[in-house]
Amino acid sequence: MAAIVYQTNKKTGITYAYESVSHWDKQKQQSRAKRKCIGRVDPQTHKIVPTRKRKAPTVEPKGKRGPVPSIKTTRSFFGATYLFDHIGKLMGVTDDLKTCFPHSYKHLLSIAYYLILEDRNPLSRFPHWATLHHHRW
Protein backbone atom coordinates (compact mmCIF):
# COMPACT_ATOMS: atom_id res chain seq x y z
CA MET A 1 0.00 0.00 0.00
CA ALA A 2 1.40 3.42 -0.93
CA ALA A 3 1.41 6.34 1.46
CA ILE A 4 2.66 9.92 1.30
CA VAL A 5 5.36 10.72 3.86
CA TYR A 6 6.49 14.28 4.65
CA GLN A 7 10.06 14.91 5.75
CA THR A 8 11.67 18.26 6.64
CA ASN A 9 15.30 19.02 5.83
CA LYS A 10 16.81 20.45 9.03
CA LYS A 11 19.43 22.58 7.25
CA THR A 12 17.14 24.29 4.75
CA GLY A 13 13.77 23.95 6.48
CA ILE A 14 12.13 22.69 3.26
CA THR A 15 9.57 19.90 3.61
CA TYR A 16 9.60 17.22 0.93
CA ALA A 17 6.84 14.73 0.08
CA TYR A 18 7.71 11.10 -0.65
CA GLU A 19 5.64 8.23 -1.95
CA SER A 20 6.37 5.35 0.39
CA VAL A 21 5.66 1.72 -0.49
CA SER A 22 6.16 -0.87 2.25
CA HIS A 23 7.44 -4.38 1.61
CA TRP A 24 8.66 -7.30 3.73
CA ASP A 25 12.43 -8.00 3.84
CA LYS A 26 12.77 -11.79 4.18
CA GLN A 27 16.44 -11.70 5.19
CA LYS A 28 16.06 -9.21 8.04
CA GLN A 29 12.51 -10.30 8.90
CA GLN A 30 11.43 -6.66 9.00
CA SER A 31 9.15 -4.33 7.13
CA ARG A 32 11.01 -1.91 4.87
CA ALA A 33 9.90 1.06 2.78
CA LYS A 34 10.87 2.18 -0.70
CA ARG A 35 10.51 5.92 -1.08
CA LYS A 36 10.29 8.05 -4.18
CA CYS A 37 10.42 11.84 -4.00
CA ILE A 38 7.26 13.42 -5.36
CA GLY A 39 8.16 17.05 -4.74
CA ARG A 40 8.44 19.73 -2.07
CA VAL A 41 5.62 21.17 -0.02
CA ASP A 42 4.78 24.84 -0.63
CA PRO A 43 4.86 26.55 2.82
CA GLN A 44 1.96 28.90 2.01
CA THR A 45 -0.52 26.64 0.20
CA HIS A 46 0.69 23.32 1.67
CA LYS A 47 0.43 21.73 -1.78
CA ILE A 48 3.03 19.42 -3.30
CA VAL A 49 5.10 21.11 -6.02
CA PRO A 50 7.01 18.68 -8.27
CA THR A 51 10.77 19.14 -7.98
CA ARG A 52 11.57 17.77 -11.43
CA LYS A 53 9.81 17.76 -14.73
CA ARG A 54 9.18 14.26 -15.97
CA LYS A 55 10.41 13.45 -19.44
CA ALA A 56 7.72 13.59 -22.06
CA PRO A 57 7.89 11.01 -24.82
CA THR A 58 9.86 12.39 -27.73
CA VAL A 59 8.03 12.54 -31.05
CA GLU A 60 10.08 13.13 -34.17
CA PRO A 61 8.65 15.81 -36.45
CA LYS A 62 7.49 14.77 -39.89
CA GLY A 63 9.83 15.54 -42.73
CA LYS A 64 12.98 15.47 -40.62
CA ARG A 65 16.03 16.09 -42.73
CA GLY A 66 19.27 14.23 -42.45
CA PRO A 67 20.56 10.73 -43.05
CA VAL A 68 18.00 7.96 -43.14
CA PRO A 69 18.85 5.08 -40.78
CA SER A 70 19.09 1.66 -42.37
CA ILE A 71 16.15 -0.53 -41.47
CA LYS A 72 17.46 -3.87 -42.67
CA THR A 73 21.02 -5.10 -42.43
CA THR A 74 22.24 -8.37 -43.89
CA ARG A 75 25.50 -10.23 -44.13
CA SER A 76 26.21 -12.33 -47.22
CA PHE A 77 29.12 -14.41 -48.47
CA PHE A 78 29.87 -14.77 -52.17
CA GLY A 79 33.50 -15.94 -52.40
CA ALA A 80 33.41 -19.73 -52.17
CA THR A 81 29.99 -20.19 -53.76
CA TYR A 82 30.99 -17.94 -56.66
CA LEU A 83 34.11 -20.06 -57.16
CA PHE A 84 32.11 -23.31 -57.08
CA ASP A 85 29.55 -21.86 -59.51
CA HIS A 86 32.35 -21.00 -61.93
CA ILE A 87 34.03 -24.44 -61.59
CA GLY A 88 30.66 -26.19 -62.06
CA LYS A 89 29.99 -24.19 -65.19
CA LEU A 90 33.47 -24.91 -66.65
CA MET A 91 33.26 -28.64 -65.92
CA GLY A 92 29.64 -28.93 -67.09
CA VAL A 93 28.30 -30.23 -63.76
CA THR A 94 25.75 -27.41 -63.51
CA ASP A 95 24.41 -28.08 -66.99
CA ASP A 96 24.18 -31.85 -66.33
CA LEU A 97 22.26 -31.28 -63.09
CA LYS A 98 20.01 -28.77 -64.87
CA THR A 99 19.22 -31.39 -67.53
CA CYS A 100 18.51 -34.17 -65.00
CA PHE A 101 16.78 -32.10 -62.32
CA PRO A 102 15.41 -28.93 -63.98
CA HIS A 103 13.35 -27.80 -60.97
CA SER A 104 15.72 -28.60 -58.11
CA TYR A 105 19.29 -28.42 -59.47
CA LYS A 106 19.94 -25.18 -57.57
CA HIS A 107 19.01 -26.81 -54.28
CA LEU A 108 21.24 -29.79 -55.01
CA LEU A 109 24.17 -27.50 -55.79
CA SER A 110 23.60 -25.55 -52.58
CA ILE A 111 23.60 -28.75 -50.52
CA ALA A 112 26.78 -29.93 -52.27
CA TYR A 113 28.48 -26.59 -51.54
CA TYR A 114 27.43 -26.81 -47.90
CA LEU A 115 28.77 -30.34 -47.54
CA ILE A 116 32.10 -29.28 -49.08
CA LEU A 117 32.52 -26.02 -47.16
CA GLU A 118 31.07 -27.11 -43.80
CA ASP A 119 32.29 -30.71 -43.68
CA ARG A 120 32.06 -31.10 -39.88
CA ASN A 121 28.63 -29.51 -39.41
CA PRO A 122 25.39 -31.50 -39.56
CA LEU A 123 22.95 -31.02 -42.42
CA SER A 124 20.40 -29.60 -39.97
CA ARG A 125 22.37 -26.32 -40.03
CA PHE A 126 21.96 -25.99 -43.80
CA PRO A 127 18.89 -23.65 -43.73
CA HIS A 128 20.85 -21.06 -41.72
CA TRP A 129 23.88 -21.42 -44.00
CA ALA A 130 21.69 -21.03 -47.11
CA THR A 131 20.35 -17.66 -45.92
CA LEU A 132 23.90 -16.28 -45.70
CA HIS A 133 25.47 -17.74 -48.84
CA HIS A 134 24.24 -16.72 -52.30
CA HIS A 135 24.78 -18.12 -55.78
CA ARG A 136 25.38 -16.37 -59.06
CA TRP A 137 22.47 -17.77 -61.07
pLDDT in tens, 84-133: 888 888 999 999 999 999 999 888 988 888 998 888 889 898 888 888 87
pLDDT at 30: 92
- Which residues make Cβ contacts (< 8 Å) with residue 111, sequence separation at least 6? 123, 126
| pLDDT(77) > 70 | no
pTM of the model: 0.43
8 A C-beta contact, residue 48 and residue 39: yes
Q: Where are the domains of the chain?
A: 2-50, 79-132
Closest by alpha carbon to 93, among 76, 116, 77?
A: 116
HSE value, Cβ hemisphere, 13 Å, CA-based, for 25: 9
